[in-house]
Amino acid sequence: MKKKVQITDLTELADYFWEIPISFRKDMRVPARVLASRSILDDIIEDRSLNQLVNVSALPGIQKSSLVMPDVHEGYGFPIGGVAATLYPEGVISPGGIGYDINCGVRLLISELEYEDVKNKMEELSKEMYAQIPSGMGKGGQITLSKDQMDQVLTQGAEWAVENGYGKKEDLEFMESHGKLPDADPSLVSDFAKKRGTSQLGTIGSGNHFVEVDYVEAIFNAEIAEAYNLKKGQMVVLIHTGSRGLGHQIATDYIRIMMNAMPKYNIELPDRELACVPFNSEEGQQYYKAMCAAANYAWCNREVISWEARMAWKNVFGKTGGELKLLYDVAHNIAKIEDHVIGTKKQKVIVHRKGATRAFGPEFEELPEAYKNVGQPVIIPGSMGTCSYVLAGTAKSRDLTFGSCCHGAGRRLSRRAAKRQVNAPTLKEELRERGIYVEAGSFKGIAEEAPIAYKDVNAVVETIQNSGVAKKVAKLRPVAVVKG
């Protein structure tokens, strides 16, 4: 039995940056590093996430270090909040380093309205959002895709939504990878995976996915907020979901394939959940191209949900509501081929981000013109009873974390534990009394996603800010929430 990581096994490299040295276990190829304050570290040490981080450091071809963010908690194979870069093209790709919900991600829509002018309409808005945006386990939406349409979505991503009247062309500029990965190959996605996704476009699903109406409670960086067009008191809409059943099935299919293929490549791992193959192998290329297809589905999904949110907005506010414009859309369960400096040399690597958000600084060539001087927007949801944040990535993130930061508050209670501790009807009423209107398909979903189930997002974001990985820009306060 492998020994559990203890606080005494970590060395403090710098403020908020810790290392489990390569000497901790003989199969480690690189150190394992943790971005956390001391108080957050004390919480992290309680579960298996740091042991999972050490396991990740044993992956063939891994570069520099395995990493976790301050919102880390244990997951399948990789910890959630994990980052690992493997050498391109012969390093491995691991579905466990991306997650079952491929391209789960977030986007933020910004409005022209101020909360003080419309706060008496929040209950009506929450009900209209719930009516327009399908949510819940296995729930289908307004669109049923034919076989050809499914292949188009998997190839075109968010462009499909725009071309078919479910989105805005100007949104594409404000999406990671412009809402499409070009390497997608629908022929490598199983018929069963496609079947699961046929009626789920434009739906948020269940679990921790949501659509949330917030207002900007505070601005921390006036210059960046101005570039992002964010103002104190402004109404915004936060959307969090991914590739639904299609992405889950792709992960399931390829984890099975990789488990069977590993002996062929003489790959031995400390945990079978890290199943992987060389990126340039037949199986590696097949998975990567299928993953890109799922990522495209997810970007299309969030674009269609935005269309539904815009419809609800118009139904409640009419012409006075103005437009909902996309601030940014960013993934937090994905693998990307990127250039990073390893030692003194620029290298191509396959960056796995699982529950971690890309956070590139002003130098990043993909950024929209409006954000070129301030860095990439990073959107960090909290919980439905607390707050969320908008951050801006920095150049320093490339040096420290392969251009990555946290993706949310991070769970501290399992779903089962949350259900045991939370009375959902009481919680819903308490939130209502605080001016937060929650609409959900079941009380089970509310209990599982209760604020006490999550870490303190303020402490997580402070850690990110103080480490220099990203800068705080704005704080968002929820007023209407749609859950699965």
Six token digits for residue 1:
């039995």
DSSP labels, 127-146? HHHHHHS--STT---S----
Establish how many alpha carbons lie within 13 A of residue 431's alpha carbon, considering only the half-sphere containing its beta carbon: 29
Q: How many residues does the chain have?
A: 484
Q: Are 80 and 58 in contact, with CB atoms under 8 Å apart?
A: no
Q: Are 145 and 153 in contact, with CB atoms under 8 Å apart?
A: yes
Give which of 447, 415, 444, 418 is closest to 431, Cα–Cα: 447
240 is an active site residue: no
Residues 6+ apart with CB under 8 A from 454: 382, 383, 386, 408, 409, 410, 411, 412, 413
Distances (CA, A) of 98 to 93, 241, 295: 9, 15, 11
Per DSSP, what are the bridge partners of residue 175? 329
Residue with tokens 């996915």: 209
Name the catalytic one among 178, 240, 332, 407.
407
Which residues of 261-387 form beta strands (DSSP E)?
Answer: 277-278, 325-331, 333-342, 345-354, 357-358, 377-380
Six token digits for residue 305:
């949900």
Q: How far apart are CA 278 and CA 413, in angstroms?
A: 35
Q: How far apart are CA 377 and CA 174, in angstroms?
A: 10
Catalytic positions? 407
